[in-house]
Amino acid sequence: VEARDAEQVRALAGDLHEADAADILVALHADDRAPFVSLLGKDFDFAALTEVDEQIRVAVLEELPTEVVVEGMRELDSDDAVYILEDLDEAAKAEILEQLPIPDRLSIQRSLDYPEETAGRRMQTDFIAVASFWTVGQTIDFLRNQSELPDDFYEIFVIDPAFRLAGTVPLNKILRAKRQTRIADVMNETSHPVLATEDQEEVARLFERYNLVSTAVVDEGGRLVGVLTIDDMVDVMKQEAEEDLRALAGVGDEEISDSVTDTVRSRFIWLLVNLATAILASMVISLFDGAISKMVALAVLMPIVASMGGNAGSQTMTVAVRALATREIDRRNMVRTIVRETTVGAINGVLFAVLIGIAAGLWFEDVLLGVIIGAALIINLVVAGLAGILIPLALDRLEIDPAVASSVFVTTVTDVVGFSAFLGLATWFLTG
């Protein structure tokens, strides 16, 4: 297909939804992506670029002539235009902005002036606002006569003469009302407006909590500056959940399309931290080298205690990290949760202590060894439960993201406690 046959390409891919066009872009060889966009010309919907990974987006935009990009951007909603521009370097950004019509340029510039990951950055600046003294009939006539409306909208905003937000009216309410009804009588006052400087994750949580489809964005003076819609917030929610998952596994903000070098770099740091932890655990073991040389069974069994503790710790930690991220843990249920996790650790500790104690006792024909590994396991599972909940809570209090840092600390604690409890008890009772 990439024999640069414009006719053919346009016939095949000209009519696709942006998400499908994005898929084609991703599947193409890197060298064919920009030509694909050029060949499609006016038939390429630049919104497709919002659906691909950052690396691919930036590469395609850098290869395309500025005129083509400017032409494509003119057709976009302001939020998509901002999304596409924000990752480019300053020079490229300025060059494109310069060639856009003034109204587009101003609204994009205004969004770009808000910090990354805020409501202001994500908002769409085209919206429909009417005065509260208008009637439903006037509003409908106004909509019929406007040509420059946003592609999709779900509510109309009501403003006062100073452009301050007074309320919102869902479209279905306008359709249900008689023409002569005043807008003020159908509008909702609780419209959950968000400040343009608010963090996008907080806003996404608001959408989820109140089942919103769109919401107004206001500046510090309460003036309406934009609108956020659910589709953008769905992306934020997805991104947030994935960040937690990746952070817990020690993977940075990587995409499946990242280069090998980027991936090596992002994972190296985590492995380095893990190396430090592992060396610490080794040092603990080396304290007991006398006992091990007298009784090799200790070396054989010790990984069991550490590994069970590590697993129990990450179970608790995962639940705690997600509960903190979704605000399910707060002051009211904190103590209850800590007690609960420690109890769970203790009960599982006793259950597994019996199992492993019997197994180890039979394996090495040594009852005392079975008792010691059982005791070490109980200690380590209780500590694992405590560490799994207290470490994320402490990090959260210190305003460090618990997802990123918890697992290192938890594993360090369970390794150190596991090895020293088992080897320490063994030294005391068996080989002393």
Q: Rounded to whole angstroms, how far apart are CA atoms 298 and 293?
A: 9
Q: What backbone torsions phi and psi does residue 365 show, to the nearest 5 degrees?
A: 45, 55
Binding segment for a copy of itself among 3-11, 32-40, 56-64, 248-256 (CB under 8 A)? Answer: 248-256
Which of 183, 312, 378, 416 forms a contact with a copy of itself (CB under 8 A)? 312
Classify the phi-psi angles of 4: left when phi > 0, otherwise alpha if psi is within -120 to 50, otherwise beta.
left
Which of 43, 263, 354, 401 forms a contact with a copy of itself (CB under 8 A)? 263
CB 118 within 8 A of CB 198: yes
Binding segment for a copy of itself among 5-13, 34-42, 116-124, 234-242 (CB under 8 A)? Answer: 234-242
Q: Is 322 in the site for a copy of itself (CB under 8 A)?
A: yes
Smaller CB separation from a copy of itself, 149 or 368: 149
Q: Is 83 in the site for a copy of itself (CB under 8 A)?
A: no
CB of 144 to a copy of itself, least distance (A): 6
Which of 109, 197, 277, 431 forms a contact with a copy of itself (CB under 8 A)? 277
Q: Rounded to whole angstroms, how far apart are CA atoms 14 and 36?
A: 11
CB of 43 to a copy of itself, least distance (A): 16
Reading the block at residue 374, the tokens are 């059982």
Q: Is 149 in the site for a copy of itself (CB under 8 A)?
A: yes
**Between residue 182 and residue 211, which ones bind a copy of itself under the rule CB under 8 A?**
190, 207-211
Distance of alpha carbon 138 from the chain centroid:
43
Q: Rounded to whole angstroms, how far apart are CA atoms 395 and 389?
A: 10
CB of 304 to a copy of itself, least distance (A): 4
Smaller CB separation from a copy of itself, 100 or 406: 406
**Between residue 386 and residue 415, which ones bind a copy of itself under the rule CB under 8 A?**
415
Reading the block at residue 177, the tokens are 């009302």
Smaller CB separation from a copy of itself, 102 or 260: 260
CB 90 within 8 A of CB 101: no
Residue whose pair of structure tokens reads 């991936």 in the numeric block: 263
Classify the phi-psi angles of 416: left when phi > 0, otherwise alpha if psi is within -120 to 50, otherwise beta.
alpha
Binding segment for a copy of itself among 83-91, 100-108, 160-168, 298-306 (CB under 8 A)? Answer: 298-306
Q: Helix, strand, or coil here: 165?
A: strand
CB 284 within 8 A of CB 405: no
**Between residue 343 and residue 362, which ones bind a copy of itself under the rule CB under 8 A?**
343-344, 347-348, 351-352, 355-356, 359
Residue whose pair of structure tokens reads 């991220």 in the numeric block: 325
Q: Is 274 in the site for a copy of itself (CB under 8 A)?
A: yes
CB of 380 to a copy of itself, least distance (A): 12
Binding segment for a copy of itself among 70-78, 106-114, 146-154, 219-227 (CB under 8 A)? Answer: 146-154
Q: Is 180 in the site for a copy of itself (CB under 8 A)?
A: no
Smaller CB separation from a copy of itself, 93 or 246: 246
Which of 10, 105, 182, 340 forms a contact with a copy of itself (CB under 8 A)? 340
H-helix or E-strand spanning residue 229? strand 224-229
Strands 214-218, 155-159: pairing kind: unpaired
Which of 175, 335, 397, 432 forms a contact with a copy of itself (CB under 8 A)? 175
Helices 66-74 and 78-85, packing angle to 10 deg: 150
Side-chain half-sphere CA neighbours of 262 within 13 A: 9
Which of 59, 92, 195, 319 forms a contact with a copy of itself (CB under 8 A)? 319
**Between residue 10 and residue 49, which ones bind a copy of itself under the rule CB under 8 A?**
17, 19, 27
Q: Rounded to whole angstroms, how far apart are CA atoms 79 and 108?
A: 8
Instruction: Name every residue whose Cβ is closer than 8 Å to that of residue 245 and which is 6 or more positions away in sequence.
Output: none
Smaller CB separation from a copy of itself, 102 or 190: 190
Beta bridge partners of 69: none
CB of 219 to a copy of itself, least distance (A): 25
